[in-house]
Structure formats: structure tokens, C-alpha cells
Structure 1
Amino acid sequence: MLAVTDNAVAVIRDLTGQQNLPDGAGVRIASDPTQGALTMSLATSPQEGDQVVDTSGARLFLDGEAARVLDDKSLDAAVDANGAVQFEVGEQLS
């Protein structure tokens, strides 16, 4: 299952809090077959079939392909000096 770092938890909770989203909202990661990539967006709730990853109140909703691709990965995040959020996917540390 996707591991979420403390930094990513803080960023996700901040993003969902700033947007005045309802309790239970999170970040959805979905596959984009036309681009051969994953996309991220804010979501009020998971879509049918999504895997829900809840880490200390930071919720991620993964569609089936994203869950498969990210199963053994770790999600980290940072905010730069201009306030731009950057997420990074890496290998899980044992």
C-alpha cells in the first residue's frame, strides 16, 4: 500500500482545509490513459472503486490503476518559497 510521509500528510491536510471542502475530502490520484500518467486533484469523496488511504486524517483516493502502480511507493510533498506544492513519488524505505 502507498506510504505517505509526514510532509505529505501536512500538505494534503492544508490543501483540503484551505479549499473549504467537507470533512472526508482528500486528494484523488487517477490514471490518465491518454497521457500514460497519473493525475492529482482535490476531491470531496472517493469515486466508486477507489482505494482510500487515510494517514493521520490526510485522505488519498486511488483509482484501480493508480493503486496498482503506487502499491510499493511512498508519497512525499513540499511547498516551495512561492507557495507552490510539489509531490514526489519514491521507493518505500524498509
Structure 2
Amino acid sequence: MLTLTENAQAAVRGLTTEAGLLESGGVRIALTEDQTQLEMSLVAEPLPSDHAVGEDDARVFVSEETSPVLSGHTLDAAQTPEGIGFSLQAQGPDA
């Protein structure tokens, strides 16, 4: 399952608050239509098949078909010159 660092949780919390999303909203991660890349978007609510990750005020929704791809990864966030940047890192075997 995908896990979130504290930085990622803070970034998601900030993005959803800035966007004015209600408690049901969050960031959604899904594969692009051609299934070659991941895309993130702000959504008002998850799709029924999405998997929710994170805490109540920092919710990340992972599409059902994307969940196996992100299994065993950690989502992190950091400030970049262009704004908040997210990255994925594989978890070690002990994670």
C-alpha cells in the first residue's frame, strides 16, 4: 500500500485547503489514459473504486488500477522553485 510522509501530508492538506475542498475531497493519483504515466489531480470526492490513503485532513485517493503500481512506495513532497513537488520512492524490504 502507498504511504505518505509527513511532508506529503502537509502538502496535500495545504493544496486541498487552498482549493476550498470539503472534507470529502483530496488528491487523486491515477494512471494516464495510455497507462504510461501517473497523474495527480484535486478532486471533490473519490470514485467508489478508489483506495483512500492518509489522514482525514490529508486524503490521497488512488485509483483501483493504479493501486498495485504504487504498492510498496512512499509519497513525499518538497518545495521547489516551481512550487510543491511530489516524488515516489520504493520502500525497503523492511518497510
The verdict on a shared fold, with TM-score over 0.5 as the criterion, is yes
Taking every aligned residue pair, what percent have the same amino acid on both sides? Answer: 38
TM-score by length of 1: 0.89
The answer for unaligned runs of 5 or more in structure 1 is: none
User: RMSD of the alignment, in Å?
Assistant: 1.5
The answer for unaligned runs of 5 or more in structure 2 is: none
Give the whole-Å Cα distance in 2 for the aligned partners of 1:18 and 1:34: 30
Deviation at 1:35, TM superposition (A): 5.3
Look up the equivalent residue of 2:71 and give its one-letter code: D
Deviation at 1:56, TM superposition (A): 5.7
Where does residue 92 of structure 1 map in the other structure?
91
Where does residue 29 of structure 2 map in the other structure?
29
1:35-74 matches, within 5 Å, as 36-55=36-55, 57-74=57-74
1:26-59 alpha-carbon deviations (Å, 9 max, x no partner): 1000111425111100011101210111236310
TM-score by length of 2: 0.88
Deviation at 1:91, TM superposition (A): 1.4
8 Å Cα contact 1:9/1:56 also seen in 2: no
Give the whole-Å Cα distance in 1 for the aligned partners of 2:56 and 2:42: 17
Runs of 4+ in 1 over 6 A off after TM superposition: none
